[in-house]
A and B are shown apart, each in its own frame.
Chain A
Amino acid sequence: MALFGRRKPGFAKEVELKPSEMPGEFSDALDPAMHKAEETAEAAAQSAAPQEGKPDLLDFLQTLPEVNDPFPPSEPDPAPAPEEEKKPEKTKAQLLADFIRERSASGLITPVALISKDEEEIDKLLEEMAADPTCADIFKVRGQKDTYYYCEETMAHNYAKIAMLTTEKDDCRTVAEMVRFNCKAFPTPTPLYYFARQPFFLDCEAMKAVIAQMKASEEYKDIRECTAAINGEPYLFSIDLMSEKYARALANGAEAQEGDE
């Protein structure tokens, strides 16, 4: 079956089915119009195929003598179009940009570590790419372990940042950054189940460990827990950006789906 939208590796497999293989009441086999279409297509294919004993038309025409055209054109044939100018070959930097674009289109950021494997002068190449106006759509985001490139035409800046955080597998930093961002931009506290979703994939046990680690760290002392009164759903918020009273109220409203039926 087809995956609509952009495909992510591993989320679906493609299977090609012919109409006659479709099961049940949705089978095209039951649709006379489809049969007719298939028959027409088959018939057209048969009539197009060369038949035994008959010469090919063009071959036959070639054997005929030349004759004067009784209906010469009123204007001479136009001069043949000049050969298209050959496009200059892409530079290495531009090819690198193409590679980054392709990965971005699939939702993947490109770490320097990946592209430097086969490239000795990677720094120079990256500088070239940065200076090339045809690569102006290529951006980077710095992590703690590496720098990552992406194309802004197909990948959002914030998503690139999320992808960087999840790639570096620093779960505490990932959770803290997202919680702080949500408190500031929306503003909203963040439910723990937010991190179970893609691309975080942190289940309950993982989140328990993350919360325990954050509590023990000075760096994350602003990250606090609260609970939605209506159903006990746990949330996180930053005390530097939001009061606990407000966080609890927003969490409760979200879980109660207040007015959002």
Chain B
Amino acid sequence: MSVKNGINGWAGTILRVNLTTGSITKEDTLPKYRPYIGGMGIGYKVIWDEVPLDTDPLGPDAKCVFGVGPLTASGVPCSGRMNITLLSCWSLGYSIIDAHMGGHIAHAFKYAGYDAMIVEGQSDHPVYIKIEDENVTIEDASHIWGKGTFEANATLAKENGPEFDVATIGPAGENLVPMSNIITSFGNSGGGGIGALLGSKKCKGIAVRGTGAVKIARPMEVRLLSNYMIKDLVGGNNNHTVPCHAQSWSEYVATKNRWQGAPGITWDKAPHGQIDTGEQPSGVINVAALRCNKGVFDFGEVAEKYTVKQGGCSSCPVRCYTEYDMDPLAEYDLPTHVSNTCMPIIKMLEWYPNHLDANGESVPSTHDFADEGDAKMILGGAGSRAADDYGVWCNYGNLYEDFNMAYTSGVLKDVIERENPGEWEKIPWALMESGDPRWVVDCYRRIAMREGIFSDLGLGTYRLYQKWGMDDASKNVAGKNFYDFVNGKNFNIGHNGFPRHHGPENCWQAGTLYSMMYNRDCMIHHLINFCSSGAPYNEIIKPVLEHFFGEGCTDPQKHYTPINENKIKLAKWAFIGKQWHDSATLCNWMYPMTIATSKKRQYIGDLDLDAKYMTAVLGEEYTREDQEHDSERISQLLRVMTAVSFKLNLGSTNLRKDHDRVSDWVFDKEPDFKPFEEGTVKLDREDWEKSLDMWYEAMGWNKETGIPTRETLEKFDLGDCADKLEELGLI
């Protein structure tokens, strides 16, 4: 570990575990991977060097790379993130993607002495990888194969010791379901189909214990920066910087945001009795963890009744995972202790669309449980627990939106009855129609166990639409192209098989541009965080953002304006910044510190903070320019690998046409409005093409194809990438 080897920040060692041969080897992280920082950067470099991009993502030659970075476990707040790089088995082009997970395992991994672990080959029997400092072994996992993740994780912790942090895949991964994940801690997951990749290797998971430490060049400086960050800069969940209930120290009150902590907002099931979250002024470090109260944001004040506490990841003061004890679930023999912070708990009503009653009338399928309006929460609790236990990933909600759209349009019934007569009648629709939480559990079971045509939902949007004809209006009973049609449930950002994740719906052309740059949902929070921060646009957001990026870089909600250079500057900052966070590793749901809570700072955040942390940890000057250069290198590599994948797997030579195509609904929604009119988020097609032109120019890509030029790649020492592109006729 770095304390022993004298390296600041990095642990210094990369593990390589070959599950075919059983060999376990170690290599140095530096200097080879220094230009790639860590985490995602290391993962991309390894895949680029070692895995041809037409490799079967679930075949024996596929690899995945678990990675952390120099800031992970270095005393920096919100650094409890682990990145996992792999090839997609479910999205258009089957190209490079990442999963990421929080919890505590990233810190454990770093303390054990590793920056990354390359998993390759395939075992002939179920195994898990056990890491205990320098001792790494491949252990038998036959006794937990087939178990849900909660039981598997508990078993590994019991067998190895409670000091181990563990992460396992569920039956979904074991059964090679593309919509599968790996679960750690309490509801923390890495998605993207990593479950299926590990399942194909018969690797149930990992157990990590690290007793070492990370060497930090200037620990007092890290401490002072952390104090400064928590006191003056950081807000609550998603860095919302204005409280949602009036607090006497705060100039502003949000109408609706994630800073729900306030006098009178309580954790009713806290172990020693109810806790009132009180006020959490800017400038006071110890109260930051009381701001979030995610349950109240998701479900209203009814969530207080079941809130035990706010959980979260290592080194994070924000605590965005509400931990519940939901009594009503006991009546259905379902676990009552549930925890999640995102789609798996907030979108479960999508599994309960209205149904037709005996009179043919459309009626709701849900009902209140113990309190008025608590269906979303109770069904959310049941659904998230089941999803996590079965190890099913939701593709940022597309899984249930696809179900909802297929059910309500009649496509689901048509396909099932056609492909597997008799299956439809065996599905327990009465559970759905009665709002029974066991319905959503059954849905996840079917998907995880690949039971029936229903389980095709687990293929993921791209492959599902192909199989069920949902990508062609002439091939399904609804007569729709489900990528393009205007529908409140259609969140597909393009035809690639994943949804928007803070794209055009909140973040104008900027959000749409970076949403198109990946091979899964982008998960970029740079813009949405300040858009939804609760800060007033005219008095804070606009002046602060224009202070950083120039006039016109940002738009108010639902009142967009045509593209301009400063919006492109903002979009690029967010795009490459995401690669930085997943390489450093820092939580992108919190960083960067754009808007501050501090009035004394005029609410201006500190975009140099990340670089300051690097300087303090490494003990050498690391500027924001360095950070952006290194991050852009990784971003260029992402684009190169996408281009190569599309060529090898689809025969495509044009990413602009084949990868960056945006769904029609983005331009056609809200027909009562014109683009750029007050009240709409619809974009204009001509403006979009102009945006792409300006974007490609800013990124140094060919305007026609959207592929990086040799000149651009050479700037980042990626000449070998340019050679490959040339070899394939792409440049």
Do the beta carbons of B558 and A5 come within 8 Å of each other? no
Q: Is the CB of B538 within 8 A of A186?
A: yes
Segment with Cβ contacts to B, from A37-45, A91-99, A242-250: A242-250
Q: Taking the complex as formed, is B599 at the interface, i.e. its CB lies under 8 A from any CB of chain A?
A: yes
B450 interface residue per 8 A CB criterion: no
Quick one: which of B248, B528, B556 contacts A154, CB cutoff 8 A?
B248
Residues A140-188 near B (CB distance < 8 A): 154-159, 162-163, 182, 184-188
For A253, list chain B residues within 8 Å (CB): 557-558, 681
Is there an interface contact between B290 and A5, defined as CB atoms closer than 8 Å? Answer: yes
Whether the pair A4, B277 counts as a contact (CB closer than 8 A) is: yes
Q: B246 near A186 (CB under 8 angstroms)?
A: no
Contact yes or no, B272 A22, CB < 8 A: yes
Q: Is the CB of A4 within 8 A of B290?
A: yes
Please tell me which one of the listed residues A17, A162, A185, A194 contacts residue B272 in the complex, with CB atoms under 8 A apart. A17
Task: Say yes or no: is A36 at the interface (Cβ < 8 Å to chain B).
Answer: no
**Contact of B705 with A by CB under 8 A:** no
Q: Determine whether A6 belongs to the interface, using a CB cutoff of 8 Å to chain B.
A: yes
A197 CA / B528 CA spacing, docked (Å): 25
Does A191 lie within 8 Å of B558, measured CB to CB?
A: no
Contact between chains at B248 and A261 (CB < 8 Å): no
**Structural contact, B538 and A107, CB atoms closer than 8 A:** no
Q: Quick check: A1 and B273 within 8 Å, CB to CB?
A: yes
In the complex, the answer to whether A154 meets B246 with C-beta atoms within 8 Å is: no
- Is B652 positioned at the interface, with any CB of A under 8 Å from its CB? no
A154/B249 contact (C-beta < 8 A), A12-B276, A261-B342 known: yes
Q: Which residues of A lie under 8 Å from residue B673 when comparing CB positions?
A: 245, 249
Q: Is B256 an interface residue (CB 8 A)?
A: yes
Contacts of B503 in A (CB 8 A): 259
Q: Say yes or no: is A199 at the interface (Cβ < 8 Å to chain B).
A: yes
Contact with B along A103-120 (1 / 0, CB 8 A): 010010000000000000
Chain B residue nearest in CB terms to A190: B255
- Residues in chain B near residue A162, CB distance under 8 A: 246, 253
The number of chain A residues with a CB under 8 A from chain B is 52
CA distance in complex: A186, B706 (Å):
37
> CB within 8 A of B280: which of A5, A194, A250, A261?
A5
Bound complex: CA of A4 vs CA of B290, how far in Å?
8
In the complex, are the beta carbons of B532 and A260 less than 8 A apart? yes
List CB contacts (< 8 Å) of B454-508 with chain A. 488, 500, 502-503, 505-507
Does B28 sit at the interface, judged by CB under 8 A? no
A182, B255: Cβ atoms closer than 8 Å: yes
- Give the CA-CA distance A228 to B505 in the complex, in Å: 17
A24 within 8 A of B: yes
CA distance A63 to B263 in the complex (A): 61
Neighbouring A residues of B262 by C-beta, 8 Å: 197-198
Q: What's the least CB distance linking B443 to chain A, in Å?
A: 19
B284 at the interface (CB under 8 A from A): yes
Collect the chain A residues with CB atoms within 8 Å of residue B274's CB. 1, 12
Name the A residues within 8 Å of B437 (CB-CB).
none
| Other-chain contact of A246, B244, B488, B559 (Cβ < 8 Å) | B559
- In whole angstroms, how far apart are the Cα atoms of A23 and B270 in the complex? 12
Residue of A nearest to B276 (CB): A12
Task: Check A254–B278 contact: CB distance below 8 A.
Answer: no
> 8 Å CB contacts to A: which residues of B536-558?
536-539, 556-558
Report if B275 contacts A (CB, 8 A): yes
Chain A residues near B271 (CB, 8 Å)? 24, 26
Are A26 and B255 in contact (CB-based, < 8 A)? no
Does A64 touch B at the CB level, under 8 Å?
Answer: no
- Which residues between 208 and 261 of chain A lie within 8 Å of chain B, taking CB atoms? 243, 245-246, 248-250, 253-254, 256-261
Q: Does A49 contact B (CB under 8 A)?
A: no
Contact check, B256 vs A259: say whether CB atoms are below 8 A apart: no
- A7 on the interface (CB 8 Å rule)? yes
Q: For residue B534, give the distance in angstroms from its CB to the closest CB of chain A.
A: 9
Find chain A residues with CB under 8 A from B255 CB: 182, 186, 188, 190-191, 194, 254
CB distance from A156 to the nearest CB of B (A): 4
Contact residue among A23, A158, A260 (Cβ-Cβ distance under 8 Å from B506): A260
Q: How far is the CA of A198 from the CA of B281 in the complex (A)?
A: 16
Query: What total of chain B residues lie within 8 Å of the partner, measured CB to CB?
Result: 61
Q: Contact check: which of A1, A157, A198 meets B246 at CB < 8 Å?
A: A198
Establish whether residues B252 and A158, one from each chain, have CB atoms under 8 Å apart when the complex forms: yes
How distant is the Cα of A261 from the Cα of B279 in the complex, in angstroms? 25
Tell me the nearest residue of chain B to A154, going by C-beta. Answer: B249
Contact bitstring B387-412, A, C-beta under 8 A = 1, else 0: 00000000011000000000000000
User: For the complex, what is the distance from the CA of A107 to the CA of B278, rounded to whole Å?
Assistant: 12
Q: When chains A and B are docked, how far (Å) is the Cα of A184 from the Cα of B536?
A: 9
**What are the residues of chain B within 8 A of A245 when measuring CB–CB?**
673, 678-679
Which of chain B's residues has its CB closest to A107's CB? B248
In the complex the two chains form, what is the Cα distance from A248 to B247 in whole Å?
Answer: 28
Tell me if B354 is interfacial: C-beta within 8 Å of chain A.
no
Given contacts A185-B538, A198-B263, A261-B346, contact A104 B256 (CB under 8 A): no
Cβ-based interface call for B250 (8 A): yes
**Known contacts A6-B279, A197-B246, A259-B505: does B251 contact A156 (CB below 8 Å)?**
yes
- Tell whether B286 is near chain A: CB-to-CB under 8 Å: yes
Residues of chain B contacted by A5 (CB below 8 angstroms): 277-281, 284, 287, 290
A193 vs chain B, min Cβ distance (A): 9
> B567 at the A/B interface (Cβ < 8 Å)?
no
List residues 272-305 of chain B with CB under 8 A from any CB of chain A: 272-281, 284, 286-287, 290
Chain A residues lying within 8 Å of B680, measured Cβ to Cβ, are 249
A11 at the interface (CB under 8 A from B): yes
Contact between B250 and A156, CB atoms less than 8 A apart: yes
In contact, B263 and A4 (Cβ under 8 angstroms): no
User: Which chain B residues (151-177) contact chain A, with CB distance < 8 Å?
Assistant: none
Known contacts A199-B246, A250-B557, A261-B342; is-contact A185 B278 (Cβ 8 Å): no
State whether A185 touches B536 (Cβ < 8 A).
yes
Report the minimal beta-carbon distance from A177 to chain B, rounded to whole angstroms. Answer: 13
Residues of chain B lying within 8 A (CB to CB) of residue A198: 245-246, 262-264
Q: A156-B251, A246-B678 are in contact. Are A11 and B263 (CB under 8 A)?
A: yes
Max chain B C-beta neighbours (<10 A), residue from A23, A158, A197, A256:
A197
A-B CB contact pairs (8 Å), 20 listed? A1-B273, A4-B277, A4-B280, A6-B281, A8-B278, A26-B272, A104-B248, A162-B253, A185-B537, A185-B539, A186-B537, A190-B255, A191-B256, A194-B253, A198-B262, A249-B558, A254-B256, A256-B488, A257-B256, A260-B532
Chain A interface (Cβ < 8 Å from any Cβ of B): 1, 3-8, 11-12, 15, 17, 22-24, 26, 104, 107, 154-159, 162-163, 182, 184-188, 190-191, 194, 197-200, 243, 245-246, 248-250, 253-254, 256-261
Instruction: Identify 12 new A-B residue pairs, CB closer than 8 A, beyond the known A245-B679, A259-B528.
Output: A3-B278, A4-B278, A6-B281, A17-B272, A158-B251, A159-B251, A185-B252, A186-B537, A198-B245, A198-B262, A253-B557, A260-B528
What are the 7 closest A-B residue pairs judged by CB atoms, nearest first?
A: A249-B679, A5-B278, A185-B536, A107-B248, A259-B505, A259-B506, A5-B279
